[in-house]
Amino acid sequence: MRSEMSPHPTRPATVAPSDQVLSRPPAEPSRRRFLAGAAGVAAGVAAAPLWPSDRAHAAAGWQAQTFPNSSSSPSVNEAVVGIQASGPADAWAVGLVGAAPVLGRWDGSKWTKVAAPAVGGSISGSGTGDVWVGDGSKTMHWNGSAWTEVAVPAAPQDWFYNGNGHVDTGSPGTAWLLSGLSYVYGPTSDHREQVFRWGGSGWVRTPHPGTDGYDRLRGLSAVGTTAWVVGGTVSSYVMSWNGTGWTRHDLPTGGAGLKVWSYAVAAVAQDQVWVAGDLVKDDMSSVESYLARWDSKTWRRVPVPTGGRVARLYDLGGSVLLHTQSHHGAGRDALFRGSGGAWQELPPLSGGDGQVFAGVPGGGVWAGGSHNYVTPTTALHTG
């Protein structure tokens, strides 16, 4: 079903931060749960295949670039799981060889392996001398000349970091980390998230008006000194950091008995923040895919190209990239780039599984993934 823009945008209400005390949770009550099919990077959900295996498979407009294999064994899974560019001749990519991370750097003509601490996950940077890598449990920082591992504060008692996390940067010197926590005690388990901001010498926890023990924060994106987090499974959270605490936002639904379960966010600019999710009924049945844009004053719904479902959002720097998928028989797998006006459809990529994207300052888009879960792949779109 094609989404329609709501004529009734809503304004946010400010919520004072309250420290979240994590203790052993009670057993989860029996309830019907709605599972978002694509919960974003923090949830570690694989999406539909879109990737080239070599130059011969790259679609028009894409140039496949060989990422160095670290294993010759076909039984060892390899993939590019994070990519970031500071310019046409300066990009970083995080790969995985089995469970071991590997780092590569692009110099304008080829990828080269770089020695670094054993830290994997997402990657983000504000410039050539400020790049972060992290998976929620470990982080490392590039200062322009060397990589240094930076410790994450210890998990609360009885909890452990589960490796589902996301790091993002805003203005130079500003960084944010979303860290997934898990708790297992006999038949009881629980999962929650903590949010950290970079304090200049270490990660500082920023308590959020967050979860009730069942809801999850699933996405993080930063622009300037502002961070945005989204998530929710029982209820939905869209929150922005105002410098001292979190401001909670209510998304327009267009009707009573409807709510949005958000799972992805891309903060392109202070007046261009995108949130994707599912519009659901009170009985937790899915109605349609949901996409909205914040213009610094109000939220407005935006129709989803093709009428399908937004699986993921990516900040390309000046514009956003949508990866759409079919939903209830409508829509299709496709890539769209835009900033609020007409959408530009990018050529699809084929032959692999999993994907990450990054914009190139001055123009262009990097893509990374894996061919058959064995060969790590990257491709550059310059159109």
Query: Where are the chain's structural domains?
Result: 34-381
Looking at the predicted structure, is the pLDDT value of residue 14 above 80?
no
| Rounded Cα gap, residues 45 and 123, in angstroms | 17
| Rounded Cα gap, residues 292 and 3, in angstroms | 10
- State mean pLDDT over 284-302: 91
pLDDT value for 12: 40
Q: How confident is the model at residue 231 (pLDDT cuts 50, 70, 90)?
A: confident
Looking at the predicted structure, is the pLDDT value of residue 370 above 60?
yes
- Reading across the β-sheet that carries 122-127, which strands appear in turn? 122-127, 130-134, 139-142, 147-150
Ranges 198-202, 267-271, 321-325: which has the least confidence? 321-325
pLDDT value for 215: 64
Which pTM was predicted?
0.84
pLDDT value for 55: 41
pLDDT value for 234: 66
Ranges 106-110, 238-242, 350-354: which has the least confidence? 350-354
Looking at the predicted structure, is the pLDDT value of residue 15 above 60?
no
pLDDT value for 65: 92
pLDDT value for 259: 87
pLDDT value for 56: 40
Q: Which tens digits make up the pLDDT trace of 75-130?
A: 678 899 999 999 999 999 999 998 899 999 999 999 999 999 999 999 999 999 99
Q: Which tens digits make up the pLDDT trace of 151-196?
A: 999 998 889 999 999 999 999 999 999 999 998 887 888 888 899 9
Looking at the predicted structure, is the pLDDT value of residue 19 above 50?
no
Give the homologous superfamily in CATH for domain 34-381.
Peptidase/esterase 'gauge' domain (2.130.10.150)
- State mean pLDDT over 349-353: 57
